[in-house]
């Protein structure tokens, strides 16, 4: 079944702010094996010009899973079967580094759904700001829904 | 921000040192916990093979995070990475054989932009597999 294209343009604001904890940054940096002191040592971060420890460039993926249950991809009306999904593309545009103590608001929008051969590509665009509306990052995520393009269904029929 | 690499010192073609990353199951388990991504294909071989995968595979976002280290280790300040995107092409397969997988990442300056920014193109391989079909970081240099 093709994805419901009526979802293009729909926005999903997260129900709560995400508070970036310094121990969460440490846990994430440890998990990716990255010993850069800017993630764990506030003095080292300040020496680089940051007000506090900062997060690794891909840290905001944590928000995806914190708010997974309220994201467009689990909205039953969209028709996405998670077992058919593979991750196609990911891009972060950092307006400034994420840092400990940030209280982040995130709104995800279904930016595009389109066919790519037998598959469909679902792109979400998430705007991450502080709760005071300072822009922090724009995150683009493209999921591949395998074999759900209308043309694939016709081939099987 | 305080990058350790000066814009004036790099040219298109400047190589960013390659790094080999060892990827074992324990790394994926840790990443599950830290990221919140507990998709079963990243930790359960029985499930992974039942859905047609050769074995447990690494999170795409884990491989993306490892590849970023090549850039952040080069530039020093992780806050200098102002943009970072990848297209995933092949998964990194991580067998439970005491060895795991090796992810090899290298980079090269592909373009010099205005305002002391450069584009670093990244290549990541694991065995014969090309892990990304495209990967680039925009980095703010000193």
Q: What is the pLDDT of residues A48-106, one digit of tens each?
A: 999 999 999 999 999 999 999 999 889 999 999 988 898 999 999 999 999 999 999 99
Q: Is residue A99 part of a domain?
A: yes
Nearest C-alpha in A relative to B139 = A94
Q: Taking 90 as the threshold, does the pLDDT of residue B98 lie above it?
A: yes
Q: Is residue A90 part of a domain?
A: yes
Nearest C-alpha in B relative to A85 = B39
Name the H helices within chain A: 22-31, 42-47, 61-66, 150-156
- pLDDT value of residue A156: 59
CATH code of the domain covering residue A83: 3.10.129.10
- pLDDT value of residue A157: 52
Query: Residue B77 is nearest to which of A48, A87, A94, comparing CB atoms?
Result: A48
Q: What is the mean pLDDT of residues B5-26?
A: 97
Query: Residue B78 is nearest to which of A31, A54, A93, comparing CB atoms?
Result: A54
- What share of chain A has pLDDT > 90, as a percent? 89
Question: pLDDT class for A155, splitting at 50, 70, 90?
Answer: low
Structure tokens at B97: 């054989």
- B132-B108-B121 Cα angle (round to 5): 35
Mean pLDDT of chain A: 95
Contact A57 B72 (CB under 8 A): yes
Q: Is residue A30 part of a domain?
A: no
Q: Taking 60 as the threshold, does the pLDDT of residue A44 lie above it?
A: yes
What does the DSSP assignment read for A88-118?
EEEEEEESS--BTT-EEEEEEEEEEEEEETT
Q: Taking 80 as the threshold, does the pLDDT of residue A3 lie above it?
A: yes
Q: Is residue A93 part of a domain?
A: yes
Q: What is the pLDDT of residues B46-94, one digit of tens each?
A: 999 998 999 999 999 999 999 999 999 999 999 999 999 999 999 999 9
How distant is the Cα of A110 from the closest Cα of chain B, in angstroms? Answer: 18
- pLDDT value of residue A56: 98
Cβ atoms < 10 Å from Cβ of A101:
12
- Contact call for residues A55 and A20 (beta carbons, < 8 A): yes
The answer to whether A74 contacts chain B (CB < 8 Å) is no
- Contact call for residues B94 and B25 (beta carbons, < 8 A): yes
Interface test with B, best of A18, A20, A30, A31 (most B CBs within 10 A): A31
Instruction: Residue A112: name the closest of A10, A8, A12 by CA.
Output: A8
Mean pLDDT of chain B: 97
Q: Residue A72's domain spans which residues?
A: 5-21+58-156
Instruction: Indicate the CATH number for domain B7-140.
Output: 3.10.129.10
- pLDDT value of residue B109: 98
Rounded to whole angstroms, how far apart are CA atoms A50 and A29? Answer: 17
Tally of domains within chain A: 1
- pLDDT value of residue B2: 83
The domains of chain B are located at 7-140
Q: What is the pLDDT of residues A70-82, one digit of tens each?
A: 998 899 999 999 8
How distant is the Cα of B82 from the closest Cα of chain A, in angstroms? Answer: 5
ipTM of this predicted structure: 0.97
Q: What is the mean pLDDT of residues B32-38?
A: 97
């Amino acid at each position: 079944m093709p994805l419901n294209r009526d979802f293009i343009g729909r926005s999903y604001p997260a129900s709560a702010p995400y508070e970036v904890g310094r121990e969460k940054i440490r846990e994430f940096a440890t998990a990716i094996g990255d010993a850069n002191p800017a993630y764990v040592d506030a003095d080292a971060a300040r020496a680089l010009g940051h007000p506090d420890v900062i997060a690794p460039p891909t840290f905001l993926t944590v928000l995806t899973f914190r708010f997974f249950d309220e994201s467009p991809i689990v909205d039953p009306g969209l028709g996405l079967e998670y077992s058919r999904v593979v991750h196609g593309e990911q891009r972060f545009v950092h307006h400034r580094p994420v840092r400990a103590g940030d209280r982040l608001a995130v709104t995800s929008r279904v930016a595009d759904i389109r066919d790519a051969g037998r598959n469909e590509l679902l792109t979400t665009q998430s705007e991450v700001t502080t709760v005071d509306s300072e822009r922090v990052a724009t995150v683009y995520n493209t999921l591949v829904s395998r074999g759900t393009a209308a043309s694939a269904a016709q081939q099987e029929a | 921000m305080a990058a350790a690499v000066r814009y004036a010192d790099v040219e298109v073609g400047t190589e960013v040192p390659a790094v080999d990353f060892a990827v074992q199951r324990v790394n994926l388990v840790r990443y599950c916990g830290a990221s919140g991504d507990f998709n079963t294909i990243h930790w359960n071989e029985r499930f992974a093979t039942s859905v047609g995968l050769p074995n447990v595979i690494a999170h795409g976002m884990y491989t993306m995070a490892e590849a970023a280290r090549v850039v952040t280790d080069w530039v020093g300040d992780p806050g200098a990475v102002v943009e970072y995107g990848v297209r995933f092409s092949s998964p990194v397969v991580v067998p439970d054989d005491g060895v795991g997988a090796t992810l090899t990442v290298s980079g090269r300056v592909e373009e010099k932009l205005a305002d002391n920014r450069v584009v670093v193109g990244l290549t990541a391989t694991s065995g014969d597999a090309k892990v990304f079909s495209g990967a680039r970081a925009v980095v703010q240099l000193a």
